[in-house]
Structure 1
Amino acid sequence: MKILKLTLAAACIATAAPAAAETVEPRGDGVGTEYMVLEVEADEEAKAHFLRGLALLHNFEYRRAATAFESAQKADPDFVMAYWGEAMTYNHPLWQEQDRDAALAVLARLGATPEARQAKVRSPREAMWLNAIETLYGEGTKEERDHLYLARMRALFEADPSDIDARAFTGLAILGTSHGGRQIPIYMEAAGLLEPGFMTNEMHPGILHYLIHSYDDPVHAPLGKRAAERYAKVAPDAGHAQHMISHIFHALGDWEASEAANVLADAVVDRQRAAAGRDPSDCGHYNEWLVYALLQQGKDASGIVSACRKQAEAQIAQGADNRLGWGASSSYAVISTWQGVDTGNWPDPLAGTGDGFILARTKLAHGRALASFGNETEVEAALSDLKSLAADYAEILPQVEPDNRTSINWLDRAVAQAEAVLTLSNGDVDAGLAMLRAAAEAEMALPKAFGPPRIAKPSYELLGEQLLALGRKEEAAEAFRRSLEFAPGRRLSLAGLEAAGGL
């Protein structure tokens, strides 16, 4: 079930991106290609494909970018930058993902060795771009290579500060060195490099995109509004661009605007799926953010949640691609647990998950612990499942996501919260409150994550609710204030703060 009707506020946001809002069947070319100015020496047809791929790369539309770069290679088989671009699609620094082997395979098609590849460059500038990516996928650990790559990109940028793409990719490379989560000094360094590019190329998709990432936390989000106002206009046919502006709205607690942005993002993706002969999707990243925005407004998200469950069941019937089980099942677990927290409408178990789909099973086990609050036996059973799954997760994660250093931290936080819930359900109020407080402080100590909270219910919110039930209003109000620092604009925390007399 799709949400197609925009509220008045959503319509206002849509006017900030007229091409996405008004064009029912776009040609699919609105990705910012017209703002690409990188000078390359290539066949004209190859250059056209390359510039489109470059725009898609800046938009994190990686598969579509790879296709464009492959078309450039066919038009000009020795065009170095076409291979550079395709290899770049396998590096996702902000998602803690990199497929080094796949990238090296792309470069190997250009030449068997770095020396052979370097012999094909057509300009000194092109040689610098190639040297940078050879370093990115060279020897050493990913963290070492990220820093070496950044050094090469700094040199590339300093050699010609007027090169807007060098500025953009250097800013992204800076962000890519913030290993283990957001480090504010690194993010502000990136913003400082990107901001002059905004002054000269205010519609460049890379500059806008990476500025939004630099600023998408509650403290700095107001600085990202200018980029958000422009980015959706620049790339109306890039779903990620439509979604990205909601990073700023989310950090500001502007749920109507976040809803509108993700409705548009989902519509773009569904049009692309339809063109490829595929059904629309009610799961996935954009739908997750949409559901969260709806819940924060007290709106009904059950249609999306129910439709996503059907897709999750279909995925489970087909079997998992890997034991973590990315996809519809994990997406459903996330949004159904949020719905349970916000409305008390908890999901029924997903049948047939077996030994796979650990992502979904961990989320649902944590949800069961929260749903069973007060029932010692049920909470204990859910906690036991959660701990077992957490152990499996910790074992498998390095194998399938070797660069992911943050997800396990949040799973540990879910376990700690469930342990506090069990203690409270046992009737040991003082110990349970102390455990909840410790869990909440540990959550606050982790690097600030963009987007919806990485835990289904912030522990400070849960602590505030328990204190409020005990009549300890001043303490409850302070807990709700801390929860709102952790998750700005969160509806249940705002309601709790009001009930505690804190507003």
Structure 2
Amino acid sequence: MVCVFAATVLVAPIGGQTSATELGTIHFPSSAKPAAQAPFLTGVKGLFNFEFDIAAETFQQAQKADPDFALAYWGEAMSFNHPLWAEQDLAAARRAMEKLAPTAAARSAKAPAGKERMLVEALEPLYGAGDKLTRDIAYAEAMKRIHEKYADDDEIATFYALALLGTARPGEKSTRTAMQAAAIAEGVFQRNPKHPGAAHFIIHSFDDPDHAILALPAARAYSKIAPSAAHALHMPSHIFVQLGMWDDVIASNIVAYKAAVDLADRKNLPRGREDFHTLSWLQYAYLQEGKLADAAKALDTAKAVADKDTNPRVRDGYASMKARQVIESQQWEKLALPGGTVRDGGAPGYDGSAAYVLAAGLSAAHLGDEATVRLALDRLKAMRTQAEAGSNAYRAKPFAIMEKDVAAALAIVQKNAAEADKMLKDATAIEATLDAPSGPTEPIKPSFELYGEFLLDQGRTKEAAAQFEQSLARTPNRRLSVQGLQRATPKASTNAGQ
């Protein structure tokens, strides 16, 4: 299913590759002049592959080749909507629409009657009045009407599937919507096994541990369908992570990371603005295989970038990777928490991410450093309070989990096992209400796993086993949970969690 929230923001891939030669195969005849049709098709493929930069660029090329081609402006406007990330550049999209014509009626009149006009008209609810969710729902309804009228059109069907996925929000029940989108995309994929959007959106629809196995064929195919799209090289690893297939996660993200770096070099973009996402997934997979040295090399690469970049998202991206390295390796060290503004992200140093603060607190507890545990607890409390003051209550839950985890760590340092038990039990109760992670664990230390480790230390092996099983249900084949379950139940299968 769709998951947009991450407790710690990493830098996601930005765009596409300069070469657009292998982005998949689609069939989208239009009213464009011949010179505009080729860049138009590339732009549509860019949208399907979430290569939004290349989509915007090639739709602009189509506009130059055929200034009266309405779908060229439609496509540029569509490139500013990133539905599965709940992101949208509303002003840029409206500027693209206004290049076609200044009013909705005039824009509609410029498009030929039929499918092209309906697509242009569907932009109005997407970029009209109301909040993002209201507009996403209205746009999905518009795409439903087009799909019903042009039921045999695979490109319309694919855009409708994406529109459905775009209505999902973290913490809300969206399984039915995701399955509907998957069914539509599966139909397209069966008819056109080289369709980039079909394979891509099947993966997104089934991006959870319960359904991921259904997307494995699409995941295996997608990187071969669109090897010129950096996002397509990374995207299969969403399914591989959900299934605990760490070799495949590693292979996928080695290639995706290289593509992202090559793109940054070609476009003279600052390193880290688009490659930390794949690099962090690569590090996570190495850690799950116990390849600590390889994970450390990925971390060193990230630090070399972050040390030269003052962008807070880049620095917090590194901080999250540092936190994960400490927690997954269990090589505890003192992580400094200097004073300053307390917030999630945006810190001037490497201590701004909640993941880093969590790691600092847990590591300090193992080192017997009560003062740092207390400081981490205070910071997480402030982050949770700040998140609760916002409009998205769901977003505050991971901070509450991490706060309780560190409160438990403090109780353990103070030899108060009863209080630690209560805090960890509360943390797991909150985590049970979260969507399963869409990628590496968030929060970075599953509370079920942490509670299981505590219960093991208390000699409560049967209860510990139940917690590790719960952790593995959400994050299959996770190394520390597998090891914990084996310690709790020595006769348990070595395939636990798979």
Q: CA deviation at 1:423?
A: 2.5
Q: CA deviation at 1:113?
A: 0.8
- Cα displacement string for residues 120-169 of structure 1 (whole angstroms, at most 9, x for unaligned residues): 11232111101111111112222221111111101111111111111111
Match of 2:327 in 1: 341
Instruction: Determine what percentage of the aligned residue pairs are the same residue.
Output: 36
**Equivalent-residue separation in structure 1 for 2:370 and 2:213 (angstroms):** 45
Distance change in 2, residues 1:347/1:337 (3 Å):
farther
Q: Secondary structure at the match of 1:315?
A: coil
Quick check: 1:307 aligned with 2:297?
no
**Equivalent-residue separation in structure 2 for 1:190 and 1:287 (angstroms):** 29
Match of 2:90 in 1: 100
Match of 2:13 in 1: none
Match of 2:12 in 1: none
Q: CA deviation at 1:279?
A: 6.9
Runs of 5+ consecutive residues of structure 1 not aligned to the other structure: 1-25, 399-403
What TM-score comes out, normalization by structure 1 length?
Answer: 0.87
Q: CA deviation at 1:432?
A: 1.1
Match of 1:329 in 2: 315
Match of 1:471 in 2: 459
Distance change in 2, residues 1:457/1:284 (3 Å):
same
Q: Secondary structure at the match of 2:40?
A: helix
Q: CA deviation at 1:349?
A: 4.2
Match of 1:135 in 2: 125
Distance change in 2, residues 1:112/1:152 (3 Å):
same
Match of 2:195 in 1: 204
Match of 1:228 in 2: 219
- Of 283-292 and 239-248, deviating more is 283-292
- Of 255-264 and 481-490, deviating more is 481-490
Q: CA deviation at 1:353?
A: 8.1
Quick check: 1:218 aligned with 2:209?
yes
Quick check: 1:58 aligned with 2:48?
yes
Distance change in 2, residues 1:389/1:379 (3 Å):
same
Quick check: 1:384 aligned with 2:373?
no
**Equivalent-residue separation in structure 2 for 1:76 and 1:119 (angstroms):** 16
**Equivalent-residue separation in structure 2 for 1:471 and 1:150 (angstroms):** 53
Match of 1:445 in 2: 433
The number of residue pairs the alignment matches comes to: 463
C-alpha contact (below 8 Å) 1:413/1:442 kept by paired residues: yes
- Cα displacement string for residues 435-454 of structure 1 (whole angstroms, at most 9, x for unaligned residues): 20221121121122311111
**Equivalent-residue separation in structure 1 for 2:157 and 2:146 (angstroms):** 9
C-alpha contact (below 8 Å) 2:137/2:167 kept by paired residues: yes
Distance change in 2, residues 1:219/1:245 (3 Å):
same
Match of 1:67 in 2: 57
Match of 1:496 in 2: 484
**Equivalent-residue separation in structure 2 for 1:295 and 1:475 (angstroms):** 26
Q: Secondary structure at the match of 1:122?
A: coil
Q: CA deviation at 1:273?
A: 2.0
Q: CA deviation at 1:90?
A: 1.5
Distance change in 2, residues 1:31/1:350 (3 Å):
farther
Quick check: 1:145 aligned with 2:135?
yes
**Equivalent-residue separation in structure 1 for 2:334 and 2:146 (angstroms):** 52
- Of 373-382 and 160-169, deviating more is 373-382
Match of 2:241 in 1: 250
- Cα displacement string for residues 94-116 of structure 1 (whole angstroms, at most 9, x for unaligned residues): 11212222211111111111111
Q: Secondary structure at the match of 1:448?
A: coil
**Equivalent-residue separation in structure 1 for 2:334 and 2:256 (angstroms):** 26
Q: Secondary structure at the match of 1:162?
A: coil
Q: CA deviation at 1:249?
A: 0.7
Q: CA deviation at 1:458?
A: 0.5
C-alpha contact (below 8 Å) 1:336/1:347 kept by paired residues: no
**Equivalent-residue separation in structure 2 for 1:61 and 1:243 (angstroms):** 12
Distance change in 2, residues 1:27/1:186 (3 Å):
closer
Distance change in 2, residues 1:204/1:351 (3 Å):
farther
C-alpha contact (below 8 Å) 1:283/1:308 kept by paired residues: no
1:78 partner letter: D
2:328 partner letter: D
Quick check: 1:365 aligned with 2:354?
no
2:457 partner letter: A
**Equivalent-residue separation in structure 1 for 2:260 and 2:339 (angstroms):** 29
Q: CA deviation at 1:27?
A: 7.4
Q: Secondary structure at the match of 1:199?
A: helix
Distance change in 2, residues 1:441/1:30 (3 Å):
farther
**Equivalent-residue separation in structure 2 for 1:288 and 1:75 (angstroms):** 41
Quick check: 1:187 aligned with 2:178?
yes
Runs of 5+ consecutive residues of structure 2 not aligned to the other structure: 1-16, 493-498
Match of 1:409 in 2: 397
- Cα displacement string for residues 280-329 of structure 1 (whole angstroms, at most 9, x for unaligned residues): 5595111111111110000121111122123222222xxx4xxxx32x21
Q: CA deviation at 1:193?
A: 2.0
1:357 partner letter: G
Q: Secondary structure at the match of 1:55?
A: helix
Q: Secondary structure at the match of 1:360?
A: coil
C-alpha contact (below 8 Å) 1:468/1:476 kept by paired residues: yes
- Of 302-311 and 410-419, deviating more is 410-419
Q: Secondary structure at the match of 1:109?
A: helix
Match of 2:256 in 1: 265
1:112 partner letter: P
**Equivalent-residue separation in structure 2 for 1:143 and 1:263 (angstroms):** 35
C-alpha contact (below 8 Å) 1:361/1:389 kept by paired residues: no
Match of 2:445 in 1: 457
**Equivalent-residue separation in structure 2 for 1:283 and 1:70 (angstroms):** 26
- Cα displacement string for residues 243-277 of structure 1 (whole angstroms, at most 9, x for unaligned residues): 11011111110000011001111111122222234
**Equivalent-residue separation in structure 2 for 1:40 and 1:204 (angstroms):** 18
Match of 1:14 in 2: none
**Equivalent-residue separation in structure 1 for 2:411 and 2:455 (angstroms):** 15
- Cα displacement string for residues 380-416 of structure 1 (whole angstroms, at most 9, x for unaligned residues): 1111122224444566x76xxxxx7754332232223
Distance change in 2, residues 1:279/1:151 (3 Å):
closer
**Equivalent-residue separation in structure 2 for 1:61 and 1:27 (angstroms):** 10
**Equivalent-residue separation in structure 1 for 2:134 and 2:18 (angstroms):** 42
